[in-house]
A and B are shown apart, each in its own frame.
Chain A
């Protein structure tokens, strides 16, 4: 069994990788990249050459290609010591056309071209666009740059390598002076004033300040040593990782009296445990200077609401439980009273749910729930009322109830007509015994297989339900990302879905094998 699961996991891992490569191909190679400018007002204001460079800058930010302007190349030479800044200034400005370059400039332009062309880049030089009087037109500045599309496999490789981020003391660049690098362990967490007993591991030189700490939030012990990065958002939630977007709490700030590292005591919602390194952030900001003693200033905040995934999961899991609690007994009862009133009513319900567009019945329930029962039809993170959960949960449970009813009835009827039931009856077993010990046990097996999937997929949220009731969940993340060409998020969310689906299928098979001893996955047992 263990071997089999391992093999399945390995197989699943390969297909997940293929899915990611395929999705990358779809969004980076197939999709028309001009479309990202369709609703970009800054783009329409650009003209001539600057429009072209603006395009390449944006494409680099969206992750399509690597874009190197000539000046960036010179800056690189300066910081590596191959060029002094006086020469840089002298050769940085290129002529309006190549033949107007000064001799030194021409030499560096030549060097730039050769260096990047040897690496497979395309080097483009756009000559100045001038009006008849010899003046530059708007955006007509001459420019020189190199660009290269990321090869698909390299992109996928980099993605998987960067996915697991292990924090180390060498995170902060070597030339930065941040005092002694190292990891220290303390029994008394300085965030709590250094007197309360609370073990913590603190790093200096690492990305996260606190690598391990305790607090009063679930699950009470937190680590930052290993972080999962699914992909950085560009347009939806700028610079924030998908995984963080999904798990970050939302809503209004929770203020508490907080003592900052400088000793400043203030009402603040900052969570000092989440401090991360941001180069030069202390010097740039007076507020940071008052609060922090070093560059570990980037903190998250405490908020009243749950995370996106939290809301989706709460709604999803309750509706799943409801669906099983309601759907299975009703399906059973329908099978027992085949062709009676209950069976017919149940069948009408099933047909209604399967055939009618889900949008239609969700709106119908919203209208009924709002007007007849007076339930809140809009979700709000500020509201403490638990009633706002009712309609989303009911709307989400409706289709699952129908499909569970349908399958339970089908499996029960199939089992009731099989030969072993007739044999058991002829053997003198009571109907109750046949029912509970034979039919039920066999009918439930295929149902059991679907349980892990329905629990895990509660994590992904529901697109329509969340949209209709304005639930701040994860359901709309993918559609939002697609609409805004947020490629990093699309890849991240797809990967998350694919992993869930692989894991839930394996768990389903394992669960089925535990319930039914006849099913065996190891070839040896047969």
Chain B
């Protein structure tokens, strides 16, 4: 056995050898490793190297969509009078206007930079997705929790769900767009006016599954209040479900916006969906392909990145993965 040089530890005699009293209170304490929920979530999340890459990609996308437009003076119709600047492929654009960031994807039908219009469009689409998801998730989770808990509310809400769920979503959206102008906030209103109902229904099912578990029954028998059961017993279970749901929601709004724009019911602003809709004819025209495929590719990258980050965050926020 190796000898330890006590003087090298740099501790006083008292520190090294002191008398400890027997404490009854202390012995009752359960010793377990320190556990912090969010700390563990991030530990598990960053353990997977793929997540770091995807998160970096998400950072770049957000930077380009939100910070880049602030430094660029972009006018869609600045070159509209210039006949030679229309529908240029990247190679032709670089030849005519020099190699810079604006010409990297060529010029569009109005002589505007495709690269710039994509990021201005992305900002609108991503904002729409975030705002809609925030509203729908907040309302949906709150209503869903009450819906799942109360049997009386359940009866009523299920009927409401059966009726509103059968009204075509497109119809509701188009009526809203016709009622107001087709602006960004109308779109938000149209997507959220009934959108929360589907999330609430999903949360309601999850609450019902957990609500009647034995441990909650036991907790209730011991006299725990309903609010405490909801906050301490059920909510931790739901966190991963909610995050996973959020992960599918955000990209789905971007996809839905693209879909609506394609069938001619989009908003007035040049979002990604509108860009794709406007450039549809360019897909089959030789030399114009970049105008169509660039917004499609960017929309796909944004949705995939958001989805993967969300899914993996959802996995990481499940306490069962923290072992």
Q: Does A240 contact B (CB under 8 A)?
A: no
**A494 and chain B: residue at smallest CB distance:** B168
Q: Does B283 lie within 8 Å of A363, measured CB to CB?
A: yes
Does chain A have a CB within 8 A of B251? yes
Q: Are A358 and B304 in contact (CB under 8 A)?
A: no
User: Are A18 and B174 in touch, CB under 8 angstroms?
Assistant: no
Complex interface: stretch among A28-36, A80-88, A271-279, A383-391: A28-36
The 10 tightest CB contacts between A and B, nearest first, are A355-B307, A357-B255, A498-B166, A357-B258, A356-B300, A355-B303, A355-B304, A18-B163, A15-B162, A19-B166
Query: What per-residue 1/0 map shows which CB atoms of B151-178 lie under 8 Å from chain A?
Result: 0000000010011111110111011001
B105 proximal to A (CB < 8 A): no
Whether B207 is near chain A, meaning CB under 8 Å from some CB there, is no
Instruction: Contact check, B303 vs A464: say whether CB atoms are below 8 A apart.
Output: no
The yes or no answer to B264 lying at the interface (CB within 8 A) is yes
Q: In chain A, residues 307-358, which have Cβ atoms closer than 8 Å to a Cβ of chain B? A: 351-352, 354-358
Mind listing 7 A-B residue pairs with CB under 8 Å?
Answer: A22-B167, A26-B175, A351-B304, A359-B255, A359-B258, A494-B167, A501-B166
Q: Which residues of B contact A355 (CB under 8 A)?
A: 251, 255, 300, 303-304, 306-308
* Nearest B residue (CB) for A367: B283
**Residues of chain A from 437 to 467 with CB closer than 8 A to chain B in the complex:** 463-464, 467
Whether A352 pairs with B304 at a CB distance below 8 angstroms is yes
Which residues of chain B come closer than 8 Å to A358, judged between CB atoms? 255, 259
The answer to whether B167 and A482 have CB atoms under 8 Å apart is: no
Say whether B32 faces chain A, with CB atoms less than 8 Å apart: no
Report Cα–Cα, A43/B300, bound state, in Å: 44
What residues of B have a CB within 8 angstroms of the CB of A357 in the complex? 254-255, 258-259, 296, 299-300, 303
Measured between alpha carbons, how far is A463 from B171 in the docked complex, in Å? Answer: 14
Q: Is the CB of A31 within 8 A of B255?
A: no
Contact A497 B168 (CB under 8 A): yes
Report the bound CA distance from A501 to B168 in whole Å. Answer: 11
Contact with B along A121-151 (1 / 0, CB 8 A): 0000000000000000000000000000000
Known: A356-B304, A363-B292. 17 other contacts (CB 8 A): A15-B162, A15-B166, A18-B163, A27-B175, A31-B175, A32-B178, A351-B307, A357-B296, A357-B303, A358-B259, A360-B300, A463-B259, A479-B263, A482-B174, A482-B265, A494-B167, A494-B168
A-chain residues with CB within 8 Å of residue B255 when the two chains form the complex:
355-359
A426 at the interface (CB under 8 A from B): no
**Chain B's nearest CB lies how many Å from the CB of A363?**
6
Bound Cα distance from A360 to B255, whole angstroms: 9
B16 within 8 A of A: no
Residues of A within 8 A of B304 (CB): 351-352, 355-356
CA distance A428 to B38 in the complex (A): 44
B178 touches A463 (CB 8 A): no
Decide: B170 and A478 in contact? CB cutoff 8 A: yes
Nearest residue, chain A, Cβ from B258: A357
| Whole-angstrom CA separation of A493 from B166 in the bound complex | 12
Contact between A16 and B166, CB atoms less than 8 A apart: yes
Q: Which residue of B lies closest to A460 (CB)?
A: B168
* A359 engages B248 (CB within 8 Å): no
- Provide the residues of chain B in CB contact with A502, threshold 8 Å: 166
Kindly state the separation between the CA atoms of A23 and B172 in the bound complex, as whole angstroms. 9
B262 at the interface (CB under 8 A from A): yes
In whole angstroms, how far apart are the Cα atoms of A27 and B264 in the complex? 18
When distances are taken between beta carbons in the complex, the residues of chain A under 8 Å from B178 are: 31-32, 35
Least CB distance from A150 to B in Å reads 18
Distance from B149 Cβ to chain A, minimum over Cβ atoms (Å): 24
The answer for the CA separation of A367 and B159 in the assembled complex, in Å, is 44
Closest chain B CB from A83 CB (angstroms): 43
Minimal Cβ-Cβ distance residue in A for B180: A32
Shortest Cβ gap from A12 to chain B (Å) = 8
State whether the Cβ of A483 lies closer than 8 Å to any Cβ in chain B. Answer: yes
When chains A and B are docked, how far (Å) is the Cα of A35 from the Cα of B175?
11
In the complex, are the beta carbons of A23 and B159 less than 8 A apart? Answer: no
- A-side contacts of B200, CB under 8 Å: none
With a CB–CB cut-off of 8 A, which chain A residues contact B296? Answer: 357, 359-360, 363-364
Q: How many angstroms from the CA of A57 to the CA of B247 in the assembled complex?
A: 51
- Determine whether the beta carbon of A26 is less than 8 Å from that of B172: yes
Report how far A11 CA is from B159 CA in the complex, Å: 9
Closest B residue to A482 by beta carbon equals B174
Residues of A within 8 A of B292 (CB): 363
The distance in angstroms between the C-alpha atoms of A476 and B311, with both chains bound, is: 33
Alpha-carbon distance between A27 and B162 when the two chains are bound, in angstroms: 20
Q: Is A15 a contact of B251 with CB atoms below 8 Å?
A: no
In the complex, the answer to whether B300 meets A22 with C-beta atoms within 8 Å is: no
**Does B9 sit within 8 A of A, measured CB to CB?**
no
A471 within 8 A of B: no
A19 to B296, CA, bound (A): 36
The closest CB in chain B to the CB of A27 belongs to B175
A401 an interface residue at 8 Å Cβ cutoff? no
Residues from chain B with Cβ under 8 Å of A27 in the complex:
171, 175
**Does A490 have its Cβ within 8 Å of any Cβ on chain B?**
yes
Q: How far is the CB of A356 from chain B (nearest CB, A)?
A: 4
B276 within 8 A of A: yes
Contacts of A476 in B (CB 8 A): 263
With A354-B248, A354-B307 as known contacts, state yes or no: A359 contacts B259, CB within 8 Å: yes
Complex Cα–Cα for A359 and B263 (A): 11
Is B30 interfacial (CB-CB < 8 Å)? no
Within 8 A of B (CB), among A473-504: 476, 478-479, 482-483, 490, 493-494, 497-498, 501-502
Q: How far is the CB of A3 from chain B (nearest CB, A)?
A: 20
Say which residue of B163, B263, B283 sits within 8 Å of A22 (CB atoms).
B163
In whole angstroms, how far apart are the Cα atoms of A482 and B168 in the complex? 11
A352: chain B residues within 8 A (beta carbon): 304
B179 at the interface (CB under 8 A from A): yes
Partner of A359, one of B162, B262, B311: B262
Pick the most buried of A16, A355, A467, A498: most chain B CB atoms within 10 A of its CB: A355
Interface string of B2-36 (1 = CB under 8 A from A): 00000000000000000000000000000000000
Q: Tell me, in angstroms, the Cα distance from A356 to B303 when the chains sit together.
A: 6
B258 cross-chain contacts in A, Cβ below 8 A: 357, 359-360
Kindly provide the distance from the CB of A462 to the nearest chain B CB, expressed in whole angstroms: 11
Known contacts: A15-B162, A32-B179, A351-B304. The answer to whether A467 contacts B263 by CB under 8 A is yes
* A308 and B128 alpha carbons, distance in the complex (Å): 35
Query: Given A35-B178, A351-B304, do A360 and B163 touch, yes or no (CB 8 Å)?
Result: no
Specify which of B170, B259, B263, B264 lies most central, judged by the most chain A CB atoms within 10 Å of its CB: B263
Which residues on A sit within 8 Å (CB–CB) of B259? 357-359, 463-464
- Tell me the A32-85 residues at the B interface (CB within 8 Å): 32, 35
CB closest chain-A residue, reference B304: A355
Q: Are B175 and A30 neighbours in the complex by a CB distance under 8 Å? A: yes
In the assembled complex, the Cα of A363 lies from the Cα of B284 at a distance in Å of: 11
A16, A357, A367, A493 interface centre (most CB from chain B within 10 Å): A357
Interface string of B289-306 (1 = CB under 8 A from A): 000100011011001101
Q: A7 to nearest B CB, angstroms?
A: 14
Instruction: Give the CA-CA distance A19 to B172 in the complex, in Å.
Output: 12
User: Which chain A residue shows the least CB distance to B300?
Assistant: A356
Bound-complex Cα distance A497 to B299 (A): 30
**A482 with B262: CB separation less than 8 A:** no
With the chains together, A464 CA to B262 CA distance in Å? 8
